[in-house]
Amino acid sequence: MEERGVQAFVCFHTDQHDSEYIAECDERIAYISGFTGSNGVCLVTMDDATMWTDGRYYIAAERQLEAGWTMSKMEKDIPTWFEHTKSKLTANQVLGLDYLQYPASALETRLKYFKEADIILQSVPNLVDIVWGAERPLRPTHPIKVLDVEFAGKSSLDK
C-alpha cells in the first residue's frame, strides 16, 4: 500500500464482468481473509482489516476469518464499507480501488461520495493480485459455448 501511495484498499467478491460465479483466480477475499462465502467486501487500512458480509454468512465468516480480521454485518444501522472508510481516512488520503472490480454504474456515486469527504478514490492495480503473485491460479481458458437463439433469446450480435 505504501508503494502505491494508498492508505486503504477495498476488495470485492467479484470479477471484471460482475459475474454471479467467479473463477478461482478471482477469489481474492478468500485469499486475503480466509472467508469463502459468495458475498463480501474487504477494506484494508494501515491499522486494520474489515470484511463485510450478509446474514447468510455470519457464522461462516466468524469461523473462517484469519486472525486480525474483523467481521462487519451488512445490515441497516451498521456502517457500510464506504461509511467505515470515510471514518478511517482523513482529507487527501487515498483509497485504492481496482476499477475492474467495481461496476461502472456505481462508480460515479462512490467518486462523488469520497470527493465530498476530501478522500481520493484512485484506481490502482489489484493489490491482492500483486501479493498473491505466482501462486494465483490461472484464469480459465475453457472454450466459449454459443447457445442457440432458441435458448438465448437473441443472437450474440443482437445482444
Is 27 within the bounds of a domain? yes
Question: At residue 150, does pLDDT exceed 90?
Answer: yes
Is 20 within the bounds of a domain? yes
Is 1 within the bounds of a domain? no
Query: What are the phi and psi torsion angles at 123 (to 5°)?
Result: -75, 130
**pTM of the entire structure?**
0.89
Is 89 within the bounds of a domain? yes
What CA–CA distance (Å, rounded) separates 119 from 134?
Answer: 32
What CA–CA distance (Å, rounded) separates 21 from 156?
Answer: 21
* Distances from the Cα of 146 to the Cα of 19, 67, 133, 151, angstroms: 17, 44, 33, 10
Share of the chain above pLDDT 90, in %: 86
CATH number of domain containing 15: 3.40.350.10
The per-residue pLDDT for 53 is 98
Q: Which domain holds residue 17?
A: 8-152
C-alpha angle 91-97-98 in degrees, rounded to nearest 5: 160
Structural domain tally of the chain? 1
How many Cα atoms occupy the beta-carbon half-sphere of 56 within 13 Å?
Answer: 6
For the segment 93-137, what is each residue's pLDDT rounded down to a tens digit? 999 999 998 888 889 999 999 999 999 999 999 999 999 999 999
Q: How many residues does the chain have?
A: 159
pLDDT tier at 146, thresholds 50, 70, 90: confident
pLDDT tier at 17, thresholds 50, 70, 90: confident
Spatial CA neighbour of 140 closest among 27, 39, 54: 27
Contacts of 151 (CB under 8 A, 6+ apart): none
C-alpha angle 40-51-68 in degrees, rounded to nearest 5: 145
Is 157 within the bounds of a domain? no
Is 129 within the bounds of a domain? yes
For the segment 18-28, what is each residue's pLDDT rounded down to a tens digit? 888 999 999 99
Share of the chain above pLDDT 70, in %: 100
How many Cα atoms occupy the beta-carbon half-sphere of 58 within 13 Å?
Answer: 6
Is 59 within the bounds of a domain? yes
Is 57 within the bounds of a domain? yes
